[in-house]
Amino acid sequence: MIILCDLAKLAKRHLLGAGRDLRRSASLCYDSPRVIRLYHVSKVYPPRFTALSDVSLAIEPGEFVFLTGPSGAGKTTLLRLLLGAETPTVGQVVIGGRNLVRLGRRGIAKLRRSTGMVFQDAKLLPGLPVLDNVALPAEAAGESSKEARRKAFALLRDLGLKDLVRRYPRSLSGGEQQRVALARALVNEPGLLLADEPTGNLDEESARRVVELMVRAHSGGATVVLATHDPQLLGAVSGRQITLRAGHLVDGGAAAE
């Protein structure tokens, strides 16, 4: 699948129209996944709250990783570190060979364009219809509005959300909002998908649909890091489980070398 994606991207670059056709046949086509390494990472919030303490771990390309632990364990902090939304107090976060601590604003923005993030509360922009919400990361990544919308529409159609394109977030159910948020996270075909309790507020059926989409992204080649404390979710999908407790890594974190 990954080889097919790379071929489609190459063709898109050189042949434009032909690339589109190839990509359609490959459905979602993710950036090359990157190795993630955390070296002795601690995060302390002022005045003295330790969210993460000396966490070292490695996530290999294409892995599906569950980040588990009770509330306040440090799951969200870890995801935010991977997104470059936080800087570690101590230690280093390296993604695809790039140390996030040393990346400037531009470098972080570039990294985020190839990283999809889903939040517990969806964080859709209320003033934009679904299509524009989903197209937003593509526009931010430099696509023309027309191309970004075309990509967003194709993705929504593939994810079975075609009927929602003209609707505004406030008119959607929680499950629909979360699936749209997932579509937004996937529109740039990221190599890394981060999800923070995406099913936390959803009923069972909606949660199942969201997880299905994440599994689809994973089978498309993306590395998925999913923070959850939902045991049903853990049983539904096979993946490595990393457990945090009170900021400490207690299980499943193959240490980064």
Partner 1 sequence: MRRFHPFYFVRRALANLRGAPRPAAVTASTIAIAIFLFGAFWVFGENLYRTLVGWAGEGDPLVVYAKRGLPPATTEALARQIQTQPEVARVRVIPPAEGLKDLRRTLGSDADVLEGIDAEVLPAIVSVGLRGTTLDPTVTELLAARIRHFEGVEMVDSQVAWIERFAKLGRWLMWVGIGWALILGFGSLLVIGNSARLAALTRKEEIEVLRLVGASEAFIVVPFFIEGAVQGLAGSLLGTGALAAAFFALERSLEDGSLLPLFTPSLAFLEPRLIVVLLTAGPLLGAIGSAGSARRYLRGVEL
Report the interface residues with partner 1, using CB under 8 A.
Answer: 83, 85, 105-106, 109-115, 117, 123, 125, 127-128, 136-137, 139-146, 148, 184, 188
Are 166 and 129 a contacting pair, CB within 8 Å?
A: yes
Q: Which is nearer to partner 1, 141 or 234 (CB)?
A: 141
**Which one, 13 or 238, has the nearer CB to partner 1?**
13
Report, in Å, the least distance between residue 92 CB and partner 1: 19
What is the chain written as a DSSP string? -HHHHHHHHHHHHHHTHHHHHHHHHH-S-PPPP--EEEEEEEEEETTTEEEEEEEEEEE-TT-EEEEE-STTSSHHHHHHHHTTSS--SEEEEEETTEEGGG--HHHHHHHHHTEEEE-TT----TTS-HHHHHHHHHHHTT--HHHHHHHHHHHHHHTT-GGGTT--GGGS-HHHHHHHHHHHHHTT--SEEEEESTTTT--HHHHHHHHHHHHHHHHTT-EEEEE---HHHHHHS--EEEEEETTEEEES-PPP-
Which is closer to partner 1, CB of 37 or CB of 184? 184
Residue 90 or 109 having the CB closest to partner 1: 109
Q: Write down the least CB distance from residue 95 to partner 1, Å.
A: 13
Q: How far is the CB of 19 from partner 1 (least distance, A)?
A: 16
72 exposure class (CB count in 10 Å sphere: 0-12, 13-18, 19+): middle
Minimum CB distance to partner 1 smaller for 102 or for 146 = 146
Q: What minimum distance in Å lies between the beta carbon of 68 and partner 1?
A: 23
* Least Å from the CB of residue 134 to partner 1: 11
Task: Report the residue number, 84 or 253, with the smaller CB distance to partner 1.
Answer: 84
Report the nearest approach of partner 1 to the CB of residue 146 (Å). Answer: 8
